[in-house]
Amino acid sequence: MSTRQLPTSARTFTQRFSGTRRGARLARLLAVEQLRSWDVPFTAAEHAEAVLAELAANAVLHGHVPGRDFEVRLTLAADTLRIEVDDTQPDRHPDEQPPSPGGESGRGLLIVGALAGSWGVVEGPAPRKTVWAELPLGGSAGGVVGVSAPAAPPRQGPP
């Protein structure tokens, strides 16, 4: 298995948070401020905020072990923003499943999948796992590239 080399010009942010809902909220808020300090365009930062919010919420709700924290890492390279969230439940992997029609939850990984170019899970070191998502960046703005808005579907007109 080969690992992807990040360019030396990549910027990183790493912070550990309490495994609580408050910790997940703080992770989201600090990540948004970090992206702002890196001059990440608004749309890209919005997408990253949504992805991080879902991954941090999953770490707190499904990957939490009492007394243990979770960790967030952001890596900004020339054309990719990588978001990583470590938790301490290596045996509980996220699984993208269709939500129940009347359910109020179960859509988080669908959001991650829609906004991220790719996402996955990496094991270890024990007792940790890392859930990661990469957001492809395209188009230039302020020296840092931004996420393009998805194209609108074609309109169906009268025959």
Nearest to 81 by CA among 72, 94, 89, 90: 72
State the greatest distance between any 2 C-alpha atoms of the chain, in Å, as a whole number. Answer: 63
82 has pLDDT over 60 = yes
E-state strands within 3-153: 11-17, 70-76, 80-87, 118-123, 129-136, 138-141, 144-146
- 84-138: pLDDT as tens digits: 999 876 666 666 666 667 666 656 788 898 899 999 988 877 778 899 999 987 6
Q: CATH number of the domain at 35, please.
A: 3.30.565.10
Asked if residue 50 is part of any domain, the answer here is yes
Alpha-carbon gap, residue 8 to 144, rounded angstroms: 15
Asked if residue 101 is part of any domain, the answer here is no
36-55: average pLDDT: 93
Tally of domains in the chain: 1
Asked if residue 156 is part of any domain, the answer here is no
141-150: average pLDDT: 34
131-154: average pLDDT: 53
As a whole number, the mean pLDDT across the chain is 78
Asked if residue 3 is part of any domain, the answer here is no
Q: Whole domain around residue 67: which residue ranges?
A: 11-94+108-146
pLDDT at residue 74 in the model: 97
Asked whether the beta carbons of 65 and 19 are under 8 A apart, the reply is yes
Asked if residue 102 is part of any domain, the answer here is no
- 8-31: pLDDT as tens digits: 578 999 999 988 999 999 999 999
